[in-house]
Amino acid sequence: MARRLEGRVAIVTGASSGMGKVTAFQLAREGASVVLAARREEEGEQAAREIRDQGGNAKFIRTDVSIWADVNAMVEFTLREFDALHCAFNNAGLSARGTDQWLDVTEEQWDQMIGINLKGVWLCIRHEVEAMIEAGGGSIVNNSSLFGMRGGGSAPYTASKHGVIGLSKSAAVSFARQKVRVNAVAPGIIMTPIMEARLADNPEMAGQAGAFIPNGEIGGSEAIAETVTWLLSDESAYITGECISVDGGVMAQLFPPRP
């Protein structure tokens, strides 16, 4: 069977762990040359080495997506190493932890959250699109959240994730004629290192989460990776400007079950 991303070049931000890392491995298995970008250099370099050890093609560059010069350098590095850019998963972001009390959120927390979760996605699209147009087209997937589609306790997180969906739709319309597609995914409750830490602190949360999810299970990062891979591939060639919930049915229910 032909690999879906054979010969393509992809960027994955926030690729040192969690959904970003798992997706980077998946894209490499599907034939893409992958640039892993993250702030944590040691973990990012290790992930890239693991991909190469498995026969894939991967490079790492330290990147803070909230900084214009870093994002520009990320794309220039990609073009220098692999000569083109066709795909991107803009995944880097902060979680809502510590910002769920409206009246306790500081200006510094707000600026940091918006700077990484929203401005960071804008900067990535801004620089990636130019390279994709040069390559004749491409596909971008941005990582939002269910809190980008419904209200949540964290003001900066919810605002930033709503903004990611709006940015995705704006870019999709703006660059469709240049053959660049832009979509988003909205992960539900996913077993990432952050979630694992939360469950370790509160083991009862696993049962509560399972009761809240219609299919009864916390999702794995592989579910996000598979959805992103499909959106980046030609199999979704007529889809742009959409946000796909990957949540085990959470968004489909009118009322969550009672505890």
Token pair in block for residue 72: 């520009």
Fold of the domain spanning 9-245: Rossmann fold (3.40.50)
User: Model confidence over 90-124: pLDDT tens digits?
Assistant: 999 999 989 999 999 999 999 999 999 999 999 99
Q: Which residues are within 8 A (CB) of 12 and not within 5 positions of it... i.e. 6 or more apart?
A: 20, 23, 24, 27, 34, 35, 36, 37, 88, 89, 91
Checking if the pLDDT of 57 tops 60, the result is: yes
Two tokens, residue 110: 């707000």
Q: What is the DSSP-derived secondary structure letter of residue 243?
A: E
- Per-residue model confidence (pLDDT) at position 130: 98
CA distance 37 to 60: 6
Query: Average pLDDT, stretch 173-193?
Result: 95
pLDDT at 203: 77
- In contact, 32 and 8? CB cutoff 8 Å: yes
pLDDT at position 185, please? Answer: 98
Residue 238 a catalytic site member = no
Catalytic pick among 82, 122, 147, 157: 157
> For 60-96, what is each residue's pLDDT tens digit?
999 999 999 999 999 999 999 999 999 999 999 999 9
Looking at the chain, the whole-number percentage of residues with pLDDT higher than 70 is 98
Q: Where are the beta strands (DSSP E) in 31-97?
A: 33-38, 57-62, 87-90
Domain-wise residue ranges, the chain: 9-245
Whether residue 49 is predicted with pLDDT greater than 70 in this model: the reply is yes
Distance CA 94, CA 116 (A): 7
Give the range among 119-123, 243-247, 255-259 with minimum mean pLDDT. Answer: 255-259
* Rg of the chain taking only CA atoms, in angstroms: 18
